[in-house]
């Protein structure tokens, strides 16, 4: 076996590969950029090599630097992870010439399947059903418009070398193509160093289902069943699961057979994924093949017990697969939630910054459930604007789908992050939705279920009881420490629009919470909280829970899953006076265009005195490899411009002000 492997990647996937290498007794080398000098992967690796500045184009995408690092450290093989150089055939071929093993498929397979334009040509020739579209390169925007009109709207504009949801736009009309085509080319160039684009028909209300394949260098290929990846936003996966709630055994077998046939046709010899777009009627079309390890591979590992990173290493070393298709079976159900540094309350825009607090749920097996968290960060680390916004991948396993979803809901409750925007409340909201729990999914799910964006969820009756009990317990604990002479039994609790007279008795880790005006009582036990802590744990009437808490100017702000409430605990007289206070008015920003996220201004083309119409593109802000076109929400005349191309801006910074 290899004695030393270089990992040409960063973040959680670098950490993931290190863990398998350690188990296999293989030493690891991690390359790192300026932005990753203090990263978890660098700390865990046996050796490290600095390869350049933060932008990937100056570090992780420079093949010469990766090869030099392998030479310097004596690494016999390179694992590329995903993204960066993982699907670069010329890099794989270069390693062959250098006598370094590429832990991935052979260059021919990468060229045939990894390039989305070529893969469609190949699949068509192999008589595999593909999505209708233009198979070939596109010259310019005018050519893109012509092709789109020939195919018929809506169409999907995609980077040929794309992946990870980058370099994709759905165009519903000509204006979308005019704006989207150059934007996709720019994203493709900056993310993959390849700006070739293709266009295909966008199938409405589809499901995204993919088959995991695994091959060796002896002609053996198996599939490890499917993953459902339909919960997406901006064409990037957010929640994945295995198996799919859509498929029956016959459809699963048909998709698996087609994926294996395609892999065998190109002598595929590593882990790879054949992606399909599926209709609700179980019809399916070949979409593309990812010739690398997928981000969402943990759910497959959890239902099959197969370590895919280990299998990639064994295959690259020349070992035969140790199992056949008949040896593989689906065991239970697994869900994965991608924890992103993004603000769901701001349209899921990237949120960069430092992880001031980072408390993931405890990993391992509890009863019949398993919790797994693939992460490459620790408390105090910074999420940079230069790379993907992923913080970690949280996965759960249970014998059934609903049990796995419930396990995920609890794990998300226990996941606490502060210092930047993150999507945990949104993920928790999805876990609680009846539609998601029923398995009626499509790639339009987020758009359908959150048409006005994500605003949190309204509290249930149980959550109102929960926050009332928690607030009373917190108030009692704080008062007992700071002013015990003010302790009393009855309080008015105001949580949102809910107002209750509450009697709180007993103390320590157990409380009796009685609603005087409703003639009922609850029991709050196993209280785990003290002043200064940002997480409150307990058991309410036998149901364990975790809430995020923080003090407000008055009372507390308490979040349970996707519900956030400002809760006041007042004496009856204080409550009476509180109702007389005038409501606070929000600042008027109607005459301003604010940056929706921290990032880099790519273009800002308006000038003072210019007339701007509602819907007109005003500027482009880029962060984490994503370009966002910002439009005017109203007609107006520009009074002042607060930034220029090349400037770094913060969230809510004024870009344009109207007269």
Q: Which residues pair with 232 in a beta bridge?
A: 237
Q: What is the Cα–Cα distance from 357 to 319, expressed in whole angstroms?
A: 44
**Average pLDDT, stretch 369-392?**
93
DSSP 591: T
Report residue 636 as tokens. Answer: 């107006």
Instruction: Annotate 49-73 with DSSP letters as a single string.
Output: EEEE-SSGGGTTT-HHHHHHHHHHH
Question: 203 and 279 in contact (C-beta within 8 Å)?
Answer: yes
| CA angle in degrees (0–180, nearest 5) for 19-22-23 | 90
Which of the 8 DSSP states describes residue 113?
I
Predicted confidence at residue 182, as pLDDT, reads 92
**Per-residue model confidence (pLDDT) at position 659:** 86
- What is the residue whose two structure tokens read 């005018």? 142
477: Cα separation from own chain's centroid = 37
Q: Can you tell me which residue has the tokens 């819907």?
A: 615
Q: Give CA–CA dist 8/526, Å, rounded.
A: 46
- State the average pLDDT over residues 429-458: 95
| Digit-coded pLDDT (tens) for 633-652 | 888 999 999 999 989 888 88
Q: What is the pLDDT of residues 276-315, one digit of tens each?
A: 999 898 989 998 899 999 999 999 999 999 999 999 999 9
617-623/599-604 β-pairing: antiparallel
pLDDT band at 384; cut points 50, 70, 90: confident
Classified as helix, coil or strand, 111 is: helix
Average pLDDT over residues 382-410: 94
End-to-end CA distance of the chain: 70
Q: At how many degrees (to 10) do helices 424-432 and 401-413 cross?
A: 150
DSSP assignments along 450-519, one per residue: -TT-----PPPHHHHHHHHHHHHHHHHHHHHHH-GGG--SEEEEEETTEEEEEEEE--TT-EEEEETTTT
The larger pLDDT score, comparing residue 397 to residue 591, is at: 397
Per-residue pLDDT, averaged over 193-208, amounts to 87
Q: pLDDT at position 117, please?
A: 76
Confidence at residue 415, expressed as pLDDT on a 0 to 100 scale:
98
The DSSP element (H or E) to which 249 belongs, if any, is: helix 249-265
Q: What is the pTM of this model?
A: 0.84
For 448, the token pair is 């359908």
Average confidence (pLDDT) over 463-483: 94
Catalytic (active-site) positions: 288
- Positive or negative, the CA dihedral 163, 164, 170, 176 is negative
Domains of the chain: 4-103 (3.40.50.20), 121-131+208-331 (3.30.470.20), 132-201 (3.30.1490.20), 339-453 (3.30.470.20), 461-578 (3.30.700.30), 592-658 (2.40.50.100)
Average pLDDT over residues 62-68: 98
pLDDT in tens, 503-537: 999 888 899 999 998 989 999 999 999 999 999 99
472 vs 502: CA distance, rounded Å: 8
CB atoms within 10 A of CB 322: 10
> What pLDDT does 629 receive?
85
**What pLDDT shows up at residue 588?**
76
pLDDT at 624: 67
Q: What band does 204 get if pLDDT is binned at 50, 70 and 90?
A: confident
Bridge partners of residue 99, in order along the sequence: none
Q: What are phi and psi of 109, to 5 degrees?
A: -65, -40
pLDDT given at position 164: 66
pLDDT digits (tens, 9 = 90+) for 148-159: 999 989 999 988
**Mean pLDDT in the chain?**
92
pLDDT over 70, % of the chain: 99
């Amino acid at each position: 076996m290899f004695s030393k492997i270089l990992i040409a990647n960063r973040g959680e996937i670098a950490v993931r590969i290190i863990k398998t290498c350690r188990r296999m007794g293989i030493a690891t080398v991690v390359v790192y950029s300026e932005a990753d000098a203090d990263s978890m992967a660098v700390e865990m690796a046996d050796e490290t090599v600095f390869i350049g500045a933060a932008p990937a184009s100056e570090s992780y995408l420079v093949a010469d630097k990766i090869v030099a690092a392998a030479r310097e450290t004596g690494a016999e093989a390179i694992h590329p992870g995903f993204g960066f150089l993982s699907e670069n055939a010329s890099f794989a071929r270069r390693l062959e010439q250098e006598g370094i093993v590429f832990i991935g498929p052979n260059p021919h397979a990468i060229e045939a399947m990894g390039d989305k334009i070529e893969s469609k040509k190949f699949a068509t020739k192999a008589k595999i059903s593909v999505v209708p579209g233009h198979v070939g390169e596109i010259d310019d925007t005018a050519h893109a418009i012509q092709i789109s009109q020939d195919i018929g709207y809506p169409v999907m504009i995609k980077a040929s070398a794309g992946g990870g949801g980058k370099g994709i736009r759905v165009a519903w009309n000509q204006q979308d193509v005019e704006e989207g085509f150059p934007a996709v080319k720019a994203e493709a160039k900056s993310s993959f160093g390849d700006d070739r684009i293709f266009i295909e028909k966008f199938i409405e209300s589809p499901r995204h289902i993919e088959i995991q394949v695994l091959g060796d260098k002896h002609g053996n290929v198996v599939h490890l069943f499917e993953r459902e990846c339909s919960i997406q936003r901006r064409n990037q996966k957010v929640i994945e699961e295995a198996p799919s709630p859509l498929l029956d055994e016959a459809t699963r077998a048909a998709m698996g057979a087609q994926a294996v046939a395609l892999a065998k046709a190109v002598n595929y010899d590593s882990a790879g994924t054949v992606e399909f777009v599926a209709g609700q009627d179980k019809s399916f079309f070949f979409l593309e093949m990812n010739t690398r390890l997928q981000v969402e591979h943990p759910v497959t590992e959890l239902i099959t017990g197969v370590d895919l990173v280990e299998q990639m290493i064994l295959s690259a070393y020349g070992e035969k697969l140790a199992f056949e298709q008949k040896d593989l079976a689906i065991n239970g159900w697994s869900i994965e939630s991608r924890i992103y540094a993004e603000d769901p309350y701001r349209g899921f825009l990237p949120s960069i910054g430092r992880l001031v607090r980072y408390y993931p749920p405890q990993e391992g097996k509890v009863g019949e459930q398993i919790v797994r968290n693939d992460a490459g960060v620790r408390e105090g680390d910074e999420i940079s604007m230069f790379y993907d916004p992923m913080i970690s991948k949280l996965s759960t396993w249970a014998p059934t789908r609903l049990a796995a979803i419930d396990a995920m809901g609890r794990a998300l409750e226990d996941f606490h992050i502060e210092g930047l925007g993150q999507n945990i409340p949104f993920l928790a909201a999805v876990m609680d939705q009846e539609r998601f729990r029923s398995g009626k999914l499509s790639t339009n799910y987020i758009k359908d279920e959150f048409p006005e964006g994500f605003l949190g969820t309204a509290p249930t009756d149980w959550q109102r009881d929960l926050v009332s009990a928690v607030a009373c317990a917190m108030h009692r604990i704080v008062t007992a420490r700071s002013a015990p002479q003010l302790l009393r039994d009855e309080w008015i609790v105001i949580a949102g629009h809910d107002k209750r007279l509450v009697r709180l008795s007993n103390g320590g880790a157990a409380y009796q919470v009685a609603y005087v005006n409703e003639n009922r009582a609850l029991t709050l036990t196993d209280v785990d909280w003290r002043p200064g802590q940002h997480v409150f744990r307990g058991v309410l009437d036998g149901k364990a829970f975790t809430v995020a808490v923080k003090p407000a100017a008055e009372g507390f702000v308490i979040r349970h899953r996707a519900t956030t409430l400002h809760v006041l605990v007042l004496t009856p007289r204080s409550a009476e006076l509180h109702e007389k206070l005038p409501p606070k008015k929000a600042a008027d920003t109607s005459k301003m265009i604010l940056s929706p996220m921290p990032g880099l201004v790519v273009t800002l083309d308006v000038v003072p005195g210019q007339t701007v119409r509602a819907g007109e593109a005003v500027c482009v802000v880029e962060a984490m490899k994503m370009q966002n076109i910002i439009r005017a929400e109203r007609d107006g005349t520009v009074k002042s411009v607060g930034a220029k191309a090349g400037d770094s801006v913060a969230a809510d910074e004024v870009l344009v002000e109207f007269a």
